[in-house]
């Protein structure tokens, strides 16, 4: 009997506390609703009333990435200022494959982003011509000319993309290791590069490292492009002239010599990202890669390196010098069928210029898109003077991955050459048979 | 009369229950299949391009595809995975199944351990193999052979010709548990009296396995081979993981990787050809059908009632 009474009391207390908890929750939720509802009224100076307009933006970033955080902040600020909501769907890199079917199926999307060449070329039929909007807003002055020219070249002079987060490529090196080896000047020719490598090797470090795949493709791509230029390399790739052009063998001999002389680390070419990480482990001095590599190495190894940069050197009798480089960017597209093109443009402008652009550059140690933002993140600042002087832009891997039907054979031959399984003659022979 | 009424009522019920499923089948399954087959006879750039923009070219896509070296090489890789991987996976899973159905102590524990790779995401499994086992500086194999001072410590399992075999080893490791369970199910339903009679007649365990178990597992073997073939034709994620960050590599590329690259383009190659992707898809479906037909033709069903 006593037990039953005790149980009743316990049940009663529990029920009462549950009711109180429920009331408390209701009260607090009411108060929070009241607060949020009252925000526009009480804070009308900084918060514009909602216009009811919502723009949908399919983003190439994942919500956890540094770029995403800056973009989300920019969208929130834009909404606060204009009352226009930017509904961001973080699709990740697969937006490249998803965007066309979605738009063809009538999905309401106003903005998407991807590699700027992809938008200018493959997705251009979905992208609105922004030439006039860019001109009216004076945005072109803030854009890197080399990117604008490349983007326009795909659409008869029309601009269909607004580039942001540009990248460049070249040799990233550890300044301290250069100093220890007594190197005072960065190499400008391939012969000078070999001298630098010899000095670094003498000082007890690996001069260079590289990864299989993009790493080795960049090495061979740059060397070929220095001899032949971008058009010459594309001619090789598209017309299979590997056996007819003598510079192919020269370039292969040069790259082979880097490995044969022991100027590459013993593990190179490594499986990505082991090669580039060797710089983070303090074993290797240089790596040829795009400007995202300092950030990647820091993320992977936690190393804090004083980064230096120089463009891939020129070669004797070559077509291009250090004024040519592999550059690129991400880009924004405004969807052709969007009802809110101007609004979309205004939002994009807030992301690719001024403070937000600088914040994004600092967040992931990338190059600012806005030319007015002269303060580059320290890790990539070494590339700034060369980037601004650059007049010729190469395709990714200088176009060696351009032909889907035999890019894998080219890559295989490059990897074999770098692993010294074949020499320069073997390299030419293996590609001549394609 | 009452029976007829019931039949009519049943038919109505059948129609009511089946209609949504049939409709869904037509819309979600049959429509894309028909569209893909049709697309393979046209020139189409993007998967979602309007039919009005398609240009009929007959069997040109098939002719081109069968003359494309990278596609033929990807088929060779697929065949190698099917043949060598098939032998390894079927033999090991059969061996494990025979051992575990033989009254081994701790059977459930071993069964679970061997099956675990199947419940782990393929991307996670591949990452584990690439970084923890095959890494040429820090991987288990490097450390193991280095400990014994062997030259094998210097082997780069993630490059050159070794890359294909490291991929195959990792894939087979993850596949054994699945086929082992199927074989175990098959062995456990075999009647015990046959084994008892064989034991009385003095047959060894090995003889019992080769003379009783194996012949009676023909049907199960057929199922396993069919599943294995379908799995290998759809080989994609492991290949992508082994070639990362590139979209594909010669030594590990497969037809589905080629199909994906040609349909959507890659980083250095923005060219797309959705119709060629569809052609690869149709050819792969035909391959599965041919393999299925051959397996049915070559392996007769169990002719002993069990």
Task: Kindly report the three-state secondary structure assignment for every residue of B74-121.
Answer: HHHHHHHHHHHHHHHHHHHHHHHHHHHCCCCCCHHHHHHHHHHHHHCC
Could you tell me if B83 and B223 lie in one domain? yes
Sequence-distant (6+) residues with CB within 8 A of A209 are A264, A265, A267, A268, A270, A275, A276, A278, A279, A283, A284, A286, A287
Distance of CA B226 to the CA centre of its chain: 9
Chain B residue numbers with beta carbons less than 8 Å from the beta carbon of A104 are: 46, 48-50
How many residue pairs bridge chain A and chain B with CB atoms within 8 Å of each other? Answer: 100
Nearest CA in chain B to A120: B270
Residue B304 lies in a domain: no
pLDDT of residue A221: 97
The whole-angstrom distance between B135's CA and the closest CA on chain A is 8
Sequence-distant (6+) residues with CB within 8 A of A211 are A268, A269, A270, A271, A272, A273, A274, A275, A276
In whole angstroms, what is the distance from residue B250 CA to residue B266 CA?
15
Q: Identify whether the C-beta of residue A110 lies closer than 8 Å to the C-beta of residue A333.
A: no
Q: How many C-beta atoms lie closer than 10 Å to residue B147's C-beta? A: 9
The verdict on a CB contact (< 8 Å) between A274 and B137 is yes
Could you tell me if B263 and B198 lie in one domain? yes
Q: Identify whether the C-beta of residue B17 lies closer than 8 Å to the C-beta of residue B9.
A: no
Could you tell me if B90 and B116 lie in one domain? yes
Could you tell me if B98 and B246 lie in one domain? yes
Could you tell me if B118 and B254 lie in one domain? yes
**Residue A141 corresponds to which tokens in the numbers above?**
């002055």
In whole angstroms, what is the distance from residue A52 CA to residue A54 CA?
6
The verdict on a CB contact (< 8 Å) between B48 and A104 is yes
Q: Identify whether the C-beta of residue A265 lies closer than 8 Å to the C-beta of residue A257.
A: no
Annotate B250-272 with three-state secondary structure.
CCCCCHHHHHHHHHHCECCECCC
Residue B82 lies in a domain: yes
**CATH architecture for the domain at A169-326+396-432:** 3-Layer(aba) Sandwich (3.40)
The whole-angstrom distance between A118's CA and the closest CA on chain B is 6
Chain A residue numbers with beta carbons less than 8 Å from the beta carbon of B161 are: none
Could you tell me if B123 and B49 lie in one domain? no
Q: Where are the domains of chain A?
A: 54-167+327-371, 169-326+396-432
Same fold, A54-167+327-371 and A169-326+396-432: yes
Residue B169 lies in a domain: yes
Q: Identify whether the C-beta of residue B235 lies closer than 8 Å to the C-beta of residue B254.
A: yes
Residue B144 lies in a domain: yes
The verdict on a CB contact (< 8 Å) between A122 and B244 is no
Could you tell me if B35 and B68 lie in one domain? no
Chain A residue numbers with beta carbons less than 8 Å from the beta carbon of B67 are: none
Tell which of A109, A270, A271, A419 to mutate to test the B interface (max B CBs under 10 Å): A271
Strands A307-310 and A54-59: unpaired
The whole-angstrom distance between B87's CA and the closest CA on chain A is 28
pLDDT of residue B127: 94
Chain A positions contacting chain B at CB under 8 Å are: 96-97, 100-101, 104-105, 115, 117-118, 121-122, 212-214, 217, 267, 269-272, 274, 395-397, 399-409, 411-412, 415-416, 419, 421, 434
Sequence-distant (6+) residues with CB within 8 A of A288 are A169, A170, A171, A172, A208, A210, A215, A218, A219, A222, A312
In whole angstroms, what is the distance from residue A419 CA to residue A109 CA?
47
The phi, psi pair for B66, rounded to 5°, reads -75, -5
**Residue B298 corresponds to which tokens in the numbers above?**
């070559």
Could you tell me if B121 and B141 lie in one domain? yes
Residue B138 lies in a domain: yes
Domain residues for the domain of B172 are: 62-298
Distances (CA, A) of B50 to A125, A258, B263: 13, 51, 16
Q: Identify whether the C-beta of residue A295 lies closer than 8 Å to the C-beta of residue A88.
A: no
Give burial (CB, 10 Å; 0-12/13-18/19+) of B105: exposed
Coarse DSSP helix, strand, coil percentages of chain B, rounded to the nearest 5 percent: 75, 0, 25
In whole angstroms, what is the distance from residue A114 CA to residue B57 CA?
32
Q: How many C-beta atoms lie closer than 10 Å to residue B140's C-beta? A: 12
Structure pTM? 0.82
Could you tell me if B198 and B136 lie in one domain? yes
Ramachandran area for residue A346 (φ above 0: left; ψ -120 to 50: alpha; else beta): alpha
**Could you report the average pLDDT of every consecutive run of 10 residues in chain A (434 residues)?**
52 47 37 34 54 92 93 96 96 90 92 94 93 95 91 94 96 97 96 97 97 94 97 92 94 97 94 94 96 93 95 96 93 96 97 95 92 92 90 90 87 94 95 85
Residue B279 lies in a domain: yes
Strands A206-209 and A284-290: parallel
Cα maximum dimension of chain A: 106
* B272 near A CB under 8 A: yes
Q: How many C-beta atoms lie closer than 10 Å to residue A185's C-beta? A: 9
Closest partner CB to A403 (pick from B135, B253, B269): B269
**Residue B149 corresponds to which tokens in the numbers above?**
């001072």
Q: Identify whether the C-beta of residue A381 lies closer than 8 Å to the C-beta of residue A232.
A: no
The verdict on a CB contact (< 8 Å) between A213 and B245 is yes
The verdict on a CB contact (< 8 Å) between A271 and B250 is no
Chain A residue numbers with beta carbons less than 8 Å from the beta carbon of B261 are: 404
* B185 near A CB under 8 A: no
Stated as kind and residue range, the H or E segment containing A224 is: helix A214-239
The verdict on a CB contact (< 8 Å) between A115 and B47 is no
Could you tell me if B245 and B107 lie in one domain? yes
The verdict on a CB contact (< 8 Å) between B249 and A213 is yes
pLDDT of residue A42: 35
In whole angstroms, what is the distance from residue B4 CA to residue B199 CA?
57
What ipTM was predicted for this assembly?
0.82
* B302 near A CB under 8 A: no
pLDDT in tens, chain B (306 residues): 555 556 666 788 888 899 999 999 888 889 999 999 999 999 999 888 899 999 999 999 999 999 999 999 999 999 999 999 999 999 999 999 999 998 888 889 999 999 999 999 999 999 999 999 999 888 999 999 999 999 888 888 988 788 999 999 999 999 999 999 999 999 999 988 888 999 999 988 888 888 998 999 999 999 999 999 999 999 999 999 999 888 888 999 999 999 999 998 876 666 789 999 999 999 999 999 999 999 999 887 665 544
Nearest CA in chain B to A212: B159
* B58 near A CB under 8 A: no
Could you tell me if B16 and B155 lie in one domain? no
pLDDT of residue A134: 96
The whole-angstrom distance between A199's CA and the closest CA on chain B is 26
Tell which of B54, B64, B259, B270 to mutate to test the A interface (max A CBs under 10 Å): B270
Q: Identify whether the C-beta of residue A331 lies closer than 8 Å to the C-beta of residue A162.
A: yes
Chain B residue numbers with beta carbons less than 8 Å from the beta carbon of A100 are: 46-48
Residue B303 lies in a domain: no
pLDDT of residue A27: 36
pLDDT of residue A37: 35
Nearest CA in chain A to B268: A401
The verdict on a CB contact (< 8 Å) between B246 and A269 is no
The whole-angstrom distance between B116's CA and the closest CA on chain A is 27
Q: Regarding the domain with residue range A54-167+327-371, which homologous superfamily does it belong to in the CATH classification?
A: Periplasmic binding protein-like II (3.40.190.10)
Nearest 5°: the CA angle B41, B46, B50 is: 75
In whole angstroms, what is the distance from residue A171 CA to residue A166 CA?
17
Could you tell me if B46 and B185 lie in one domain? no
Distances (CA, A) of B218 to A339, A400, B223: 64, 50, 9
Number of domains in chain B: 2
Closest partner CB to B267 (pick from A396, A403, A434): A396
The verdict on a CB contact (< 8 Å) between A412 and B249 is yes
Chain A residue numbers with beta carbons less than 8 Å from the beta carbon of B253 are: 408
Chain A residue numbers with beta carbons less than 8 Å from the beta carbon of B265 are: 96, 118, 122, 404
In whole angstroms, what is the distance from residue A167 CA to residue A396 CA?
11
For residue B290, what is the domain's CATH number? 1.10.3720.10
């Amino acid at each position: 009997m006593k037990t039953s009474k005790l149980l009743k009391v316990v049940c009663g207390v529990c029920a009462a506390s549950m009711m109180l908890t429920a009331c408390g929750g209701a009260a607090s939720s009411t108060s929070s609703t009241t607060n949020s509802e009252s925000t526009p009224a009480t804070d009308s100076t900084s918060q514009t009333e909602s216009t009811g307009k919502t723009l949908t933006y399919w983003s190439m970033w994942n919500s956890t990435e540094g770029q995403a955080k800056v973009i989300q902040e920019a969208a929130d600020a834009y909404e606060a200022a204009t009352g226009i909501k930017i509904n961001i769907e973080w699709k990740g890199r697969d937006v490249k494959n998803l965007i066309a079917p979605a738009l063809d199926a009538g999905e309401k999307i106003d903005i998407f982003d991807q590699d700027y060449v992809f938008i200018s070329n493959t997705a251009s039929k979905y992208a609105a011509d922004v030439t006039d909007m860019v001109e009216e807003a004076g945005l072109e002055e803030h854009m890197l000319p080399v990117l604008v020219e490349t983007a326009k070249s795909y659409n008869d002079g029309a601009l269909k993309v607004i580039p942001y987060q540009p990248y460049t490529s070249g040799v990233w090196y550890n300044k301290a290791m250069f100093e220890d080896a007594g190197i005072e000047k960065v190499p400008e020719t391939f012969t000078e590069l070999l001298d630098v490598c010899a000095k670094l090797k003498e000082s007890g470090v690996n001069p260079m490292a590289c990864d299989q795949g993009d790493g080795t493709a960049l090495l061979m791509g740059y060397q070929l492009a220095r001899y032949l230029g971008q058009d010459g390399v594309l001619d090789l790739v598209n017309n299979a002239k590997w056996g007819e052009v003598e510079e192919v063998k020269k370039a292969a001999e040069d790259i082979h010599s880097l490995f044969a002389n022991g100027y590459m680390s013993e593990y190179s070419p490594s499986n990505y990202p082991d090669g580039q990480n060797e710089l983070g482990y303090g074993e290797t001095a240089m790596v040829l890669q795009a400007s995202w590599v300092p950030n990647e190495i820091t993320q992977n190894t936690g190393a804090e390196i004083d980064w230096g940069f120089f463009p891939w050197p020129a070669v004797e009798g070559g077509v291009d010098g250090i004024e040519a480089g592999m550059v690129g960017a991400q880009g924004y597209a405004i969807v052709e069928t969007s009802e809110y093109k101007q609004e979309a443009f205004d939002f994009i402008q807030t992301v690719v210029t001024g403070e937000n652009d600088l914040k994004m550059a600092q967040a992931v140690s990338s190059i600012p898109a806005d030319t007015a933002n002269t303060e580059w993140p320290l890790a990539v600042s070494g590339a700034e003077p060369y980037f601004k002087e650059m007049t010729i832009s190469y395709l990714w891997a200088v176009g060696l991955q351009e032909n889907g039907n035999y890019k894998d054979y080219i890559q295989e031959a490059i990897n074999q050459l770098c692993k010294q399984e074949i020499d320069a003659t073997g390299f030419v022979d293996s590609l001549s048979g394609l | 009369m009452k029976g007829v009424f019931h039949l009519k009522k049943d038919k109505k019920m059948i129609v009511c229950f089946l209609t949504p499923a049939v409709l869904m089948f037509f819309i979600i399954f049959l429509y894309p299949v028909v569209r893909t087959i049709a697309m393979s006879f046209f020139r189409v750039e993007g998967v979602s391009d309007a039919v009005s923009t398609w240009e009929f070219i007959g069997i040109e896509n098939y002719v081109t595809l069968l003359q494309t070296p990278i596609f033929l090489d990807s088929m060779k890789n697929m065949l190698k995975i099917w043949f060598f991987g098939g032998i390894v996976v079927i033999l090991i899973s059969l061996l494990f199944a025979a051992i575990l159905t033989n009254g081994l102590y701790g059977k459930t524990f071993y069964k679970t351990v061997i099956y675990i790779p199947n419940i782990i995401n393929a991307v996670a499994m591949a990452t584990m193999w690439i970084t923890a086992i095959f890494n040429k500086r820090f991987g288990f194999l490097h450390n193991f052979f280095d400990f014994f001072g062997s030259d094998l410590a210097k082997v780069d399992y993630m490059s050159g010709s070794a890359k294909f075999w490291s991929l195959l080893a990792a894939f087979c490791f993850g596949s054994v548990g699945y086929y082992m369970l199927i074989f175990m199910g098959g062995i456990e339903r075999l009647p015990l009296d046959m084994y008892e009679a064989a034991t009385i007649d003095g047959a060894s365990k090995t003889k019992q396995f080769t003379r009783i178990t194996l012949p009676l597992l023909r049907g199960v073997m057929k199922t396993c081979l069919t599943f294995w073939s379908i799995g290998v034709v759809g080989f994609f994620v492991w290949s992508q993981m082994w070639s990362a960050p590139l979209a594909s590599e010669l030594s590990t590329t497969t037809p589905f990787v080629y199909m994906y690259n040609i349909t959507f383009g890659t980083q250095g190659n923005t060219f797309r050809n959705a119709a060629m992707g569809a052609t690869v898809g149709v050819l792969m479906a035909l391959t599965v059908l041919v393999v299925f037909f051959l397996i049915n033709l070559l392996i007769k069903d169990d002719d002993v009632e069990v």
